[in-house]
Amino acid sequence: MTETSPTATGLRRFIIDTQSDAWGYFCGCILALGASLSFATARAGILAGLSPGDMILMRFGISGLCLLPFWAGSGFIGLAGIGWRRAIILTLVAGPGFALMQMGGYAFAPLAHGAVIHPASVTIISTVIAAVLLKERLSGAHLIGATLVIAGIVLISWQGLHAKTEATSWIGDLLFFASAVLWAGFTVLIRHWRLHAVRAIAVVSFLSLLLMLPGYLAWYGMGHVRALPVGAMVVQALVQGLGQGVLALTAYSQAIRVLGVSRAVLFPAMVPAVSIMIGIPIVGELPNAFQIAGLLLVTAGLLGAIGLFRLRRPIPRPIPVSLGE
């Protein structure tokens, strides 16, 4: 039997690790693009006359039906092994209430607010909760990054907080922040309970559909449903339901599995910049000077908090040993 040399073994491991990392980075980029499109399309839907309930219906309707096989194939009665108590808690945290806050905020605030406040707050809140529950030590980079993020959020919402009384941007900002708290709790609960992320998302999506559908029909009525613009609803179904509810969240779970949490959280930090750039042609909202400055601070704070700017210690070179003349 031919033995494999240590050099060949190391090279094979390097190739496998590189391929795995590439897959993780690809999945992370899918998350960033899907989340950014979701924010921009939600704002466009509000401007087109859709209600938050219409977009929530598309999100949970499409994602719940598409992810149903993950639930049914892993135990329908036992909710894919999650159990009814945990499933109900997760649905209360990340179900219709969360989506209503996230999408309803765009009825009061522009795209730049939601595109920055929500992902920034999710990253920081998740880090703090993980430190408290999992006893992870927060480094100086985390604390400095959190400070920059808070400063950026203040700049972004500055005009809404100090405008005239009819300005309602601050209401949208509070809704975005509240939705971030709920989603951070959802993320930590999945990590704490060691649940399969895709199965948990499938269960929450389908239960949310069953929970909100009767209320949606009772509140809006069939006349409202028949009057909905078909084109706008198809766009919301593709972006909110299929893109964000299925592809982006599944890709994020893959990025965490391949890269680990410390590297996977890099990609939500990309969402603010990508959202605002996508929103320029979709929504036509150009960020002002305050929002640009806040965007730069939030992005720098997020990247610093996850250690991207951490200086690596140089690897000491071996001292040459003289063997004599």
C-alpha 17/C-alpha 236 separation (Å) is 37
* Domain edges within the chain: 24-305
Q: Is there a contact between 228 and 54 (Cβ–Cβ < 8 Å)?
A: yes
Q: With cut-offs at 50, 70 and 90, classify the pLDDT of residue 88.
A: very high
**Cβ within 8 Å of residue 297, ≥6 positions away:** 148, 149, 151, 152, 155
| Residue 322: predicted pLDDT | 39
Q: What confidence tens digit (pLDDT) does each residue in 125-142 have?
A: 877 777 777 666 667 776
Using a cut of 0.85, tell me whether the model's pTM lies above it: no
| Residue 159: predicted pLDDT | 64
Q: Which residue has the higher pLDDT, 218 or 22?
A: 218
Q: What confidence tens digit (pLDDT) does each residue in 162-198 have?
A: 555 446 788 888 999 999 889 888 877 877 787 777 8
C-alpha 127/C-alpha 123 separation (Å) is 6
- pLDDT surpassing 90 at residue 89: yes
Task: Check the CA dihedral 173-233-88-32 and report its sign.
Answer: negative
